[in-house]
Structure 1
Amino acid sequence: MRKNILTVFSALLVSLFHAQEFEKNQLVIKIKKESFSKQKFDVVRNITGIQSLDRLNDHYVIRKMVPVGKIEDTTSLVLEFNSDMDVTSVQKIYSENPAIEFAEPNYIAHGAGVKGADAFSTFPNDSYFLSRQWGLYNNGTFSASGMTTTTDADVDMELAWDIETGNPNLIVAVSDSGLNMSHEDIAARVWSKPAEIIDGIDNDGNGLIDDYRGWDWVNNDNNPTDDHGHGTNCSGIIGSIASNGKGYAGVNWNSRIMPLKVLNSSNSGSYAAMASSLYYAVDNGAKVVSMSIGGSSSSSLLADAINYMKTNNVLLVACMMNNNNEVPYYPAAYSTAYDNVIAVGSTDANDKRTQPFFWSATSGSSYGNHINVVAPGNYIYGLGIDSNISYNSYWGGTSQATPLVAGVASLILSKKPTLTPAQVRNILQLTAEDMKGLPAEDTAGFDKYHGWGRINAYAALNSVVLKTSDAEKEGELKVINPVTNGYIEIHNGRKFRGNTEIMISAFDGKTIDHQNIDLREGKNLIPINGMITGSYVLTVENKAFKKIFKILVKY
């Protein structure tokens, strides 16, 4: 018993240590809206315009104040002290000031991907899509130490591209360690800001000088170049130039990639930098943000930024982390509070939850009740930072699964820009392939290891291709899942009657069953014969409407 108590106590100490990981000379504060005055605020002179707060800043010797987002909107800033402080004690003192809404440490988060060695020698240097990008197209030939491969354990990307390859006017932001912006396989895809030119002047008045290609919050400059590699790999998963005879194919072939550097050369960064990047992405037109970063501390600052994204209809795709447990990491853990957040776990080339990743025997895709979906994330090849023609690095982590999901989400929005982040998340969940992992983990419907299942890009895009009619409204038709009695039960909530085509297909597009029925208002029972347990796509269509569902057949 004593040994067990010591073990639990040691684990608790480790947990507390991680929870206290923050910058030692910084404090994040948010000033109450009614106390803040833009006219009195002077960031150059470290003056907030609130006497009691300015006296505190003088007492603790503030070196500088750094706004998070636009100060007039967020009223949040990072106070940087002249020397390391007992931050938790200072936090308490600042929290008691009546002008302060909250004060918290500037927590530190880490990227959730680890780089492996150079490419395996058994792989050819040509046809990288077929030989290395198993997560997009898995023909069963991919080989990696410690990981088996199952044909079609992928997201059916080649089928999805028949439907959508990306809108060139849509922007996907990648908040990470930056990007190798001159790499030949992505350089032409890098976003630039029309309102900003390189002239040493803040042309658009956002407080950032010459931020024409994103921003670097680590070094506080306009050059978000990657000095670690994590961000370049993640960005390439989304936006590597396709069909150019070089390297890899990104999930999205046309949309712009906005590089936002918040992680340093050691792959760690502060919550303040993360939050600032989210505000920046929203304010500069991004519709999807991929953030393969996680920290163990909840944060009001980060939650405020995510709420700002939600208010402005911007989707955040975040990683579950790689600790093979259900300890929540942020921002992914905010998926239960904000429906514009998608928390992503990782799978292997055999469709099982990644456990372990190639780089550590104790690693594994983290899990928990906040997970939404999973996607391929181990042995993921991509672009490197060693040169502008670097192709031979591979990574593993929920970091790599996250941009894949973000890329598919961007294709959904390219196809139907009017969708809300919550609707995009719902589409990815409803069309995910269920019960592909270990039976003990991947149970029917939602489970804490895989969420709603491994995403399927084709099924997701196919579900978006709907005819415009009143029948698209939520609640028109309801399908009861799982299907357990040999009948599909459809509830028709509106008066769309008459001859209706029912088609059941596998996720690879193969037709399993095809019927014509007389659809009635209310309850309809559709018999199915000879179908094995598994997930399928159900299409219900007549002259008035078309609607697509995911169904789970279970015996």
Structure 2
Amino acid sequence: MGTMDRRQGAANLKLRKSSDLVGLKTAGSERPPGAEREILSDLGGFSVVRLAGDVESGLNALRRASSVVVGSHVYFAEGDNRPLVPTGVIYCELADGVGEEESSRLFDRLGLEVVERREGATVVLRVTDRSRNPLAMSQELEGLAMVREAVPDLDVPLEQYFSEPRDGLFPEQWAMDNQGRIPGVPDYPTKPGADAGVRAAWRKLDNLGGSDIIIAVIDNGFELDHPDLSGKSVAPLTVSSGAAGVPEGLAYGTHGTPCASLALAPANGTGIVGAAPNARLMPLHGLTYSVFLTERMFDHCRNSGADIISCSWGTIDDRYRPGKRHELAIRKALTEGRGGKGCIVLFAAGNEGAARVNYYGKLEGVITVGASTSGDTHPAYSNRGEGLSVVAPSDGGWPVLAARCSWDPGQRELPAEKQYYVDGRDRGPYHKHFGGTSAATPLVAGICALLLSANPELTAVQVKRILEQTADKIGNRAGYDSRGWSPQFGFGRVNAGRAVTEALRLRNVAPAPAPPPPPVAGTYRLDVEPVQTKGFGLQVGAYGNYNNVVATVAALKARFGLPVVVEEVGGLHKIVVGTFATAAAARSRIEELRDAGYRPFVKDLSTLS
């Protein structure tokens, strides 16, 4: 079958149509005739099934079946064996000057449904039974002068960052408080103090954290009546359908239950205890690369009251690097959640043993979590490199204990006694040994809940900064640069006790007064130069009074030594600082300007009038 090129996110994909897989949305639970075997139960809202015989005729027959609501071809990207499914959504960016009435006539003629018109020129469309398939439709749209860009929304399975234990109930939770030994495991010494400092944080708080803190865990496989999760769920969501609640059973995975338990398992006298035992759980079932579903998941967290969002999944594959719309969805949670203080968003660094972290963890404002071992060393699987914030205890030495689903089959390739516990000592049917950056990330999410319990007024930016500033430097100190950052450990191994202490200190510190307005009197020397209209700058304000503009420009140039551009639009003077080659270079100066009292954001200089 032929191939087609499509831009997706931050990459161009060369797509090949599958010769035997199709995606189906059905009205009932029974598999339609001709669908031989289910490969994936939920990808972009579709069940991916294998067909016997010719895929074209088989799919056409299934589309005629009364139980099939939608049938779609499945695709593969060149060099990858993961299936991709078009979700049916297209992000269309209209050309300059194209109005709503004109574009509505176009979309109606093409049989497209308008889902949403967004600020600017972006229109979210959905294909219907009157239109062509999403890939063909997006190509047709991009051939029109009225359309600048039309990107079909695709979904692909992303990596869950779980790793099976590599070596080998509260007293055994060494990651909370490492005493140098594990009860019942006499032959495996650990390093005293190689832990996350959670018990010390509880003592600083004089409690186990607030019950008003909500931790959203986005994953697959939640058993909400498990003893370590029972009674904790609020606003559960199945991402692909938008339905309230989460599905259960082996077909829907096993990963979410252990992840959630490490963040918030209760102190109920049995089983394990999470870092924030009193916190509540917002479970979201369904990992996705789809832009439309990424927006749904993070909007749900933001709008339903999540304080913290824990994500033990992602990718280091350039083909599925998150694009500008993925980033915007996550950015809105980071900046608009919690009444403007921002949701705290965490991503696992990843388990590929690579010299780069999960691309989602590289997004500005995200806390990216790697793993450390029970001996305070770097496990070879934990990704390293720019973007890594902190590490937290996981396996690679001795594994951590976590909740397990009742349908979890364990590691079937091992002897029966070691399918759930590496040392073969049975600890009951509700738990298992767990690891990877998947385990480290929700542990840090629970610690973030303790910080918000100590100081509810902390912003997402402050929480990230506190974790990084209070982390313990482990490993070779020569491996840390002038910032105190290491490619293997980020800013160090998280220390919940020190972080809570800092959060409590900041609660008692009066906020710094707002910077005074710039003076309007005085004489200023300003240089007039041609404006560079390539690259990026940081817009810091818009002023109506020109005296304030002149004074502000002079102050900015004197303090930061950067060029300053003023754009006049409708009587307002927008001030843009710097001319940087990339948006990332511009973002690297944001914190510096914020510390000076400004509220900068990245501005594309090509948009200057």
TM-score, structure 2 normalization? 0.57
Matches within 5 A, 1:128-277: 128-131=169-172, 133-142=173-182, 149-164=190-205, 165-191=208-234, 213-218=235-240, 220-226=242-248, 227-242=252-267, 244-263=268-287, 270-277=290-297
**Could you say what secondary structure the match of 1:316 adopts?**
strand
Change (3 A) 1:321 1:221: same
Relative to structure 1, is the Cα distance of residues 86 and 55 closer, same or farther in structure 2, using a 3 angstrom cutoff?
closer
Of residues 320, 324, 328 in structure 1, which corresponds to 2:349? 320
Q: Which residue of 1 aligns with 2:378?
A: 353
Match of 1:520 in 2: none
- Counterpart in the other structure of 1:519: none
Per-residue deviation, 1:329? 2.6
1:237 is matched by which residue type in structure 2?
Answer: L
Counterpart contact for 1:173–1:288, Cα < 8 Å? yes
Contact 1:347 1:354 in 2 (8 A): yes
Question: Deviation at 1:138?
Answer: 1.4
SS of the equivalent of 2:171 reads helix
CA contact (8 A) 1:134 1:349 kept: yes
Match of 1:30 among 91, 105, 108: 91
Q: Does 100-109 or 139-148 show the bigger shift?
A: 139-148
Determine the structure 2 residue equivalent to 1:106: 154
- Tell me: CA distance 1:168–1:26, structure 2 relative to 1, closer, same or farther (3 Å): same
Larger radius of gyration: 2
CA contact (8 A) 2:224 2:230 kept: yes
TM-superposition CA deviations, 1:208-245 (whole Å, max 9, x none): xxxxx321124553231353111111111111111x12
Question: Which residue number in structure 2 is paired with residue 372 of structure 1?
Answer: 389
Q: Which residue of 1 aligns with 2:104?
A: 50
Letter in 2 for 1:306: I
Is 1:449–2:507 an aligned residue pair?
no
Distance 1:467 1:262, change over 3 A: closer
Conserved? CA contact 1:262–1:270, under 8 Å: no
Amino acid at match of 1:155: A
Structure 1 position 374, deviation (Å)? 0.9
Is the partner of 1:332 in helix, strand or coil? helix
Q: Which runs of 4+ in 1 moved over 6 A?
A: 33-37, 70-76, 85-89, 117-120, 143-148
Q: Cα deviation per residue 1:299-318 (whole Å; 9 max; x = unaligned)? A: 22211111211331112101
Structure 2 Cα separation of the partners of residues 465 and 410 of structure 1 = 13
| Correspondence 1:372-451 to 2 at 5 A | 372-378=389-395, 379-386=399-406, 390-434=429-473, 436-438=474-476, 441=479, 445-451=484-490
Match of 2:279, as an amino acid?
Answer: S
Partner in structure 1 of residue 539 of structure 2 = none
Task: Report 1:71-110 matches (<5 A).
Answer: 77=124, 79=126, 91=138, 93-95=140-142, 98=146, 103-110=151-158
Against the structure 1 CA distance between its residues 317 and 118, is the aligned structure 2 distance closer, same or farther, given a 3 Å change threshold? closer
- Aligned counterparts of 1:256 and 1:112: Cα–Cα separation in 2: 23
**Distance of 2:387 and 2:506 partners within structure 1:** 33
Q: CA deviation digits over 1:460-479, x for unaligned, max 9?
A: 0011122766666499xxxx
Cα 1:471–1:181 shift into 2, 3 Å = closer
Q: Specify whether residues 238 and 462 from structure 1 end up closer, same or farther in structure 2 by C-alpha distance, changes over 3 A only.
A: same
Cα offsets for 1:22-55 (capped at 9, x unmatched): 6233365335599897xx9xxxxxxx97232344
In 1, Cα distance between equivalents of 2:451 and 2:109: 51
Distance 1:22 1:110 in 2: 11
Aligned in 2, Cα 1:28/1:350: closer, same or farther, shift over 3 Å? Answer: farther
1:281 aligns with 2:292: no
Q: Secondary structure at the match of 2:445?
A: helix
Query: Quick check: 25-34 or 177-186, which moved more?
Result: 25-34
2: CA distance, partners of 1:73 / 1:393: 48
1:387 Cα deviation after fit: 6.2
Q: Distance in 1 between matches of 2:335 and 2:174?
A: 36
Once the two structures are TM-superposed, the CA of residue 184 in structure 1 deviates from its matched residue by 1.7
Q: Is the 8 A contact 1:179 1:232 kept in 2?
A: yes
Gap change, CA 1:461 and 1:396, over 3 Å in 2: same
3-state SS in 2 of match to 1:24: strand
Residue 19 of structure 1, CA deviation: 8.0
In structure 1, what is the Cα distance between the partners aligned to 2:99 and 2:256? Answer: 36
User: Which consecutive unaligned segments of at least 5 residues does structure 1 have?
Assistant: 1-12, 41-47, 59-63, 121-127, 192-212, 356-363, 476-555
CA distance in 1, matches of 2:188, 2:127: 46
For structure 2, the residue ranges without an aligned partner over 5 or more in a row are 1-13, 15-76, 337-341, 409-427, 515-609
Contact 1:31-1:99 within 8 A present in 2 as well:
yes
Q: Is the 8 A contact 2:204 2:501 kept in 1?
A: yes
Aligned to 2:43: none
Structure 1 residues 461 and 73: alpha-carbon distance in aligned structure 2, compared to 1, 3 A threshold: farther
Q: How many equivalent residue pairs? A: 398
- Contact kept? 2:160, 2:313, Cα under 8 Å: yes
TM-score normalised to structure 1 length: 0.62
Letter in 2 for 1:30: Y
Equivalent of 1:304, from 328, 332, 346?
A: 328
> Aligned AA for 2:260?
S
Asked whether the 8 Å contact 1:53–1:99 carries over to 2, the reply is: no
Q: Which one of the candidate residues 369, 392, 400 is aligned to 1:344?
A: 369
In the aligned structure 1, how far is the partner of 2:270 from the partner of 2:105? Answer: 60
1:294 aligns with 2:314: yes
Query: Structure 1 residues 80 and 175, CA, compared in 2 at 3 Å: closer, same or farther?
Result: farther
Structure 1 residue 412, shift from structure 2 partner: 0.8
Write the distance in 1 (CA, Å) between the matches of 2:276 and 2:123.
34
Aligned to 1:318, the other structure's residue is in SS state strand
- Once the two structures are superposed, residues 226-265 of structure 1 have per-residue CA deviations (whole angstroms, 9 ceiling, x without a partner) of 53111111111111111x12111011122211011113xx
d(CA) in 1 for partners of 2:217 and 2:118? Answer: 25
2 CA distance for matches of 1:397 and 1:301? 28
CA shift for structure 1 position 458: 0.3
Report the AA paired with residue 189 of structure 1.
K
Q: Which amino acid aligns with 2:106?
A: S
1:49–1:102 distance in 2 versus 1, CA, 3 Å: closer
AA aligned to 1:365 is S
Q: 1:279 to 1:150 in 2, by over 3 A?
A: same
* Residues 27, 103 of structure 1: 8 Å contact kept: no
Asked if the contact 1:367–1:450 (Cα under 8 Å) also holds between the matched residues in 2, the reply is yes
Contact 1:22 1:106 in 2 (8 A): no
* Alpha-carbon offset, residue 343 of structure 1: 0.9
Given that residues 349 and 369 in structure 2 are in contact (C-alpha distance below 8 angstroms), is that contact kept between their aligned partners in structure 1?
yes
TM-superposed CA distance for 1:330, in Å, is 3.1
| Counterpart position of 2:588 | none
Report the AA paired with residue 351 of structure 2: N
Deviations 1:123-159 (A, max 9, x none): xxxxx0111x221121222499999721210011111
Q: Which whole-Å CA distance do the structure 2 matches of 1:430 and 1:343 have between them? A: 14
The residue type equivalent to 1:241 in the other structure is: P
C-alpha distance in 1 between matches for 2:81 and 2:124? 20
Task: Find out whether 1:333 has 2:387 as its counterpart.
Answer: no
Residue 108 of structure 1: CA displacement?
Answer: 2.5
